[in-house]
Amino acid sequence: MNSKKIAIVVHQYGDEICGGAEYHARILADHMKPYFNVSILTSENNENKQIQEKSKIHVKRFPVRFNFFRYVLKNKSFFASILRPLLKIGFVLLNKKSDYKVLKRSLYTPSLLKYIKSNQGEYDVFIFFSYLYYGSYYGMKLVKNKAVFIPLAHDEPIFYKTPKKLFYTPALTMFNTTSEMNLVKKRVALPKSKSVIIGCGINEEIMFDSSFKYPNPYLIFLGRIVKMKGAALLMEYFMKFTQKHKQYGLKLLLLGDKKMEIPKHNGIIYLGFRSETEKFQYLNNALALVNPSYLESLSLIVLESFYVGTPVIVNGASEVLVDHVDKSKAGFVFNSYNDFEDAVLQLLDKNDMRKSISNNGRKYYSENYSWEVIEKKVVREINALIEKNKG
């Protein structure tokens, strides 16, 4: 067994948990198993045994406790509505406004913090996921010299309200992209020795039927179907496109968790949550993946598209997505309906160009985000931190 022990601290963990941070934590843990003794420190859920057997990684779960402050902040009762303004004022007066925000959006797991504090000598490194949550906000303070931070920072209002001191706390911060690192460094003057761009790969072992065919050309959307992710904008653009260009018979396939009303339209097909195998089959056969989100720190679905050679059409409001397209030459950027329309028409009418784009995407993924590349970076940085702490 590997003698070096690392703990991955993440808000939630499990195959059934849908979220970028949770997926990133799972796949990183799997790829670190050959190099380190890996443990997961996370919150409880209802499928503990199944998850532990499935992942074959030691998962230690901590109960989610009742917290009066969180109850008042989240509850919709009349009692809570009366207390909420007073509580907010109290947090502000005590200079604890950031604590109030963390408690409001996080699962409250105080025994997780107690465990980290009592067992910090048992682990060589702690890897904390996301700047948003309780575990990172309070946990990194307990193990500063051993703390590795994967912030998954987005250019969103909540990022600018996050205390700067959080980003100064860890010994090392691992960013997914240059754009994400630059975003953080606009607010925090991190020294180069504490920052490194790592990235994250995808599930490269997935097996799917590459001969799978759908009867119509289609665009595909993957992930949470919610306005915040640009789903409403995409559907608006799609309906306008099909009204103008009926001859193509273009469809829009939506795969994921539905969090908003979907317009009734013959071309919009909601397929719900699908297995990884099915997801890759639909993705592989798509005319293009559309990611209309403006909030991204990496976008694993775009990397999955590059991996299988499917072109992407992305929102120009996301610096991360624009950077992917600029560097890969494997897709299109839209800032308006006209951009979107032009991209789709080019993909429908120019087969040779689409083949070139597919090759570009595969090459970009292989050279920058394959696990062969990512593993070397992560292992090198963790081992360097361990040696530094020994000295």
Position 70 scores a pLDDT of 54
Quick one: 287 and 337 in the same domain?
yes
As a whole number, the mean pLDDT across the chain is 88
Residue 86 confidence (pLDDT) above 70: no
Instruction: Please report the pLDDT score of residue 307 as a whole number.
Output: 97
Average pLDDT (319-328) is 96
Spell out the residues 6+ positions from residue 113 whose beta carbon is closer than 8 angstroms to its own.
135, 138, 139, 142
Provide the token pair at 131: 């700047």
Convert the pLDDT of each residue in 185-227 to its tens digit: 999 888 877 999 999 999 998 888 888 888 899 999 998 899 9
CATH at 229: 3.40.50.2000
In a domain, residue 75? The reply is no
User: What does pTM read for this prediction?
Assistant: 0.82
Instruction: Please tell me whether residues 193 and 330 are part of one structural domain.
Output: no
166 and 247 part of one domain = no
Q: How confident is the model at residue 50 (pLDDT cuts 50, 70, 90)?
A: very low
Whether 94 shows a pLDDT value over 60: the answer reads no
- Same domain? For 16 and 53 the reply is yes
| Whether 265 and 330 share a structural domain | yes
Count of the separate structural domains present in the chain: 2
Structure tokens at 32: 């670190």
User: What is the pLDDT, as a whole number, of residue 215?
Assistant: 86
pLDDT per residue as tens digits for the range 228-282:
899 999 999 999 999 999 999 999 999 998 889 999 999 999 999 888 899 999 9
The yes-or-no verdict on residue 16 having pLDDT over 90 is no
**Block residue for tokens 């050959």:** 34
As a whole number, mean pLDDT of residues 334-359 equals: 95
pLDDT at residue 144 above 50?
yes
Do 276 and 292 fall within a single domain? yes
Average the pLDDT over 353-372 and give the result.
95
User: 274 is in which domain, residue-wise?
Assistant: 218-368
Q: What is the mean pLDDT of residues 113-141?
A: 94
